[in-house]
Each structure stands twice: as structure tokens, then as C-alpha cells.
Amino acid sequence: MTQDELKRATGIAAADYIRPHLDDDSIVGVGTGSTANCFIDALAEHKHLFDGAVASSEASAQRLRDHGIPVYDLNSVSNLDFYIDGADEINEHLEMIKGGGAALTREKIVAAVAREFICIADESKLLSRLGAFPLPVEVIPMARSYVARELVKLGGDPVYREGVVTDNGNYILDVHNLSIASAIELESKINQITGVVTNGLFALRPADVLLLGTQNGVQTIK
């Protein structure tokens, strides 16, 4: 199977995973990216079973609406059973690097509200150590250079993602060559730099379940 076929298989598996738990009041948390898009397309097959969704980006919100799925503001939702999203990297502890699509802040917010975070990924994303993928950091525009200098002190090589403005009006620094011994520690440390909105380490709140697309089928890892 190609990588795209594996992504489609995980999207379908995620829709099947949550389907028995959906009812008329259910709101589903939906992530961002090409794997999340596969989930949205699979979820649309079951749109008569639930109320609507909250989305971690304008792009996903638009795709949901295009399928006729109502999209709610997170502020009007108090219970979210599931958040389903992809990852750029994931390790055996289900800690992730996310934000390749620049949606990391909203992804982290929706994930914080959800009871269960289901990560969907093809097998190329599962690694023993995080950090080959440059770590995205969302920054307030006026703090970009200051934050970059602080990230250099942490041993990284930040690169400004030119031409990209997040849904929140901020910039992204992609930090190369970080040595990530403890993802929890580094996530906390980077969060403390003034001007950082979020960083793409999802270790303080990792995924609860990984649906991993492999050549032998979709594996469920908890």
C-alpha cells in the first residue's frame, strides 16, 4: 500500500473506532492535515449518527462543512469524547511532534478538552526518538527574533516558516537539530519562553490511542 492508502485506512479505522459511541448529542473533535482529511471523509459516511464537530483549523472546518457536518465553536461545547488527529512523529509513549500544517495551537486546545485523543498515522511516523522532524513553534510576530535566539540557547536551529501566518495571526519557527531526551521537559521549557504561543511537542498530553496504518493492517496501540 502507498502512504496515501495507509492514511485512508487509518481514517476509516478511526471512524469505525468511534462509531459505536456516537449519538445525537455527540460532538467530534477533528484535527488537521492529510490524514485528518481522510478521517473527515470517512466520518462523513456516518454524519446521521452525531450532532457535529469542532475543528482545529479553518481548513478542516471548511472540509467538514463541505460534507454537510455542522461545525461548532469550542466555547459552546463542554464535552468532547474524542479528538482525532494525525502527527508528524509519534513515539512508543504516544508523545508526538505536530504542527507541520501550522495548526498546533488549536490542535493542542481541542486535544486538551477531549477525553480521548486518537492519533492516526501511517507507519513512517512511528519512531523510537522524536526530533528528526523540525519542531514547529508558534510565536507572537513581534517576539519572533527573541524566541529564535532563546531556542538557539536550547541547542536548536530555528528557521522562520516564511509566508505562513497561522489561523491565530502568528508565525511559525521550525526548530531543527534539537536533541529531545525528555519530550515532557522540553515541551515545558519552550512553553516558558516569553512570546511562545505553543510548541508542537504533545507530551504533557500525549495521545491515548494510536491507530497505525501498516502493510499488515491498522494496528491499535495504547
- Which residue stretches of the chain are H helix? 3-18, 34-44, 58-66, 104-113, 144-153, 183-191
Q: Tell me if 213 contacts ligand 5RP by CB under 6 A.
A: no
CA distance 87 to 36: 9
Q: Is 105 annotated to bind ligand?
A: no
Q: Rule CB under 6 A: which of 67-96 touch ligand 5RP?
A: 85-88
Least CB distance to ligand 5RP at residue 153 (A): 26
Of these residues, 89, 107, 138, 150, which one is catalytic?
A: 107
Q: Is 88 annotated to bind ligand?
A: yes
Q: Rule CB under 6 A: which of 105-124 touch ligand 5RP?
A: 107
116 a catalytic residue? no
Count of residues in contact with ligand 5RP, rule CB under 6 A: 18
Cβ distance to ligand 5RP smaller for residue 8 or 98: 98
State the SS3 of 3-32.
HHHHHHHHHHHHHHHHHHHCCCCCEEEECC
- Short-list 182, 192, 42, CA closest to 120: 42
Q: Is 125 annotated to bind ligand?
A: yes
Q: Is 98 annotated to bind ligand?
A: yes
Q: Tell me if 156 contacts ligand 5RP by CB under 6 A.
A: no
Q: Tell me if 175 contacts ligand 5RP by CB under 6 A.
A: no
Half-sphere exposure in the Cβ direction for 133 (13 Å, CA) = 23
Residues facing residue 90 across a β-bridge:
96, 126
Q: Is 166 annotated to bind ligand?
A: no
- Short-list 186, 28, 38, CA closest to 110: 28
Cβ distance to ligand 5RP smaller for residue 51 or 167: 167
Q: From residue 13 to residue 32, what is the string marking binding to ligand 5RP with x (rule CB under 6 A)?
A: ------------------xx
Q: Tell me if 138 contacts ligand 5RP by CB under 6 A.
A: no
Least CB distance to ligand 5RP at residue 148 (A): 20
Cβ distance to ligand 5RP smaller for residue 79 or 110: 110
Burial (CB count <10 Å: 0-12, 13-18, 19+), residue 79: exposed
CA distance 63 to 97: 24
Contact 36, 86 (CB under 8 A): yes
- Short-list 212, 34, 33, CA closest to 122: 212
Going by the annotation, the residues of the binding site for substrate are 32-35, 85-88, 98-101, 125
Q: Name the residues that contact ligand 5RP, by CB under 6 A.
A: 31-36, 85-88, 98-104, 107
| Active-site residue list | 107
